[in-house]
Amino acid sequence: MKKIQISPSILSADFSRLGEEIKKLEEAGADMIHMDVMDGHYVPNLTIGPPVIKSLRKHTHLKFDVHLMIAPVHNFIDSYANAGADIITIHPEATENLQDSIKKIKDLNKQVGLSLNPETNIQIIEKFLEKIDLILIMSVNPGFGGQKFMPEVLDKVKRLKEIRDTRGLSYDIEIDGGINFENSKIAIEAGANILVSGTTIFKSNNGDIKKNIDLLRST
Ligand code: DX5
Ligand code: ZN
């Protein structure tokens, strides 16, 4: 049974004080920091780039769980690796050669994640499952925080857990989008072992980050 980890998304943080916010997340017991990178092309929103990640790197030793919502993504991988990403997660549709992009991330000694949008089937990544460290199941359409959880994606979580267990693989299953105190338990029961949350962690219980992280982990 994999340990349940919480990866708060800084998408809901105060962008004018990101360094302090990152420190608060570490003190509150976050296991890693989820950084939603959006290019305004693959998704209709624009967030942070390598200079911001580089400047945040010195504020914490926590793993940077970097979710690249960029297309085409291949030529940007180096700059996020050099900025301090520890996990680099890409969308399979965002690269012309997924094998090459996975190899590039591994050659940079970073952990490889692949992200499946709600309408993307597991088949698109099935032949790469031995090579990757993490699968990020989107439970919203990528682009914005604060959206409603899409429970139908839990079938993919269950299937990926089945495949991992029967084939003796070891990838983590991370779920991202609309995770709150009501649905975190069913996401964990389905097989997710890393929960991404932005709105629930930063906005619930008058912004009591430690309480919200503890509640998500324990539900
Ligand atoms: C969507 C983002 C969000 C974010 C979490 O592209 O990936 O899912 O991380 O946002 P909340 O927790 O506010 O739904
Ligand atoms: Zn994300």
Q: Can you give the residue ranges of every domain in the chain?
A: 5-218
Q: Among the bound ligands, name the one nearest to the CA of residue 117.
A: 1
- Contact 44 CB / ligand 1 (< 6 Å): no
Question: For residue 17, what are the contacts with CB-CB under 8 A and spacing of at least 6?
Answer: none
Q: Burial of 129 by CB count in 10 Å (0-12 exposed, 13-18 middle, 19+ buried)?
A: middle
- 19 pLDDT more than 70: yes
pLDDT at 219: 65
Q: Residues with catalytic annotation?
A: 36, 176
Distance from the CA of 86 to the center of ligand 2, in angstroms? Answer: 15
Distance from the CA of 107 to the center of ligand 1, in angstroms? Answer: 28
Distance from the CA of 195 to the center of ligand 1, in angstroms? Answer: 11
pLDDT band of residue 1 (cuts 50, 70, 90) is: confident
pLDDT band of residue 181 (cuts 50, 70, 90) is: very high
| Overall CATH class of domain 5-218 | alpha beta
CB 130 within 8 A of CB 169: yes
Residue 49 is encoded by which pair of tokens?
């780039």
- Contact 177 CB / ligand 1 (< 6 Å): yes
Selected residue with higher pLDDT from 44 and 1: 44
Nearest CA to ligand 1 atom 1: 142
| Helix, strand, or coil (residue 14) | coil
What atom in ligand 1 is closest to the CA of residue 139? 8
pLDDT in tens, 94-109: 999 999 999 999 999 9
User: CA–CA separation, 120 vs 91, rounded Å?
Assistant: 10
- Contact 50 CB / ligand 1 (< 6 Å): no
- Contact 198 CB / ligand 1 (< 6 Å): yes
Average pLDDT value over all residues in the chain: 98
How far the first Cα of the chain sits from its last, in Å, is 16
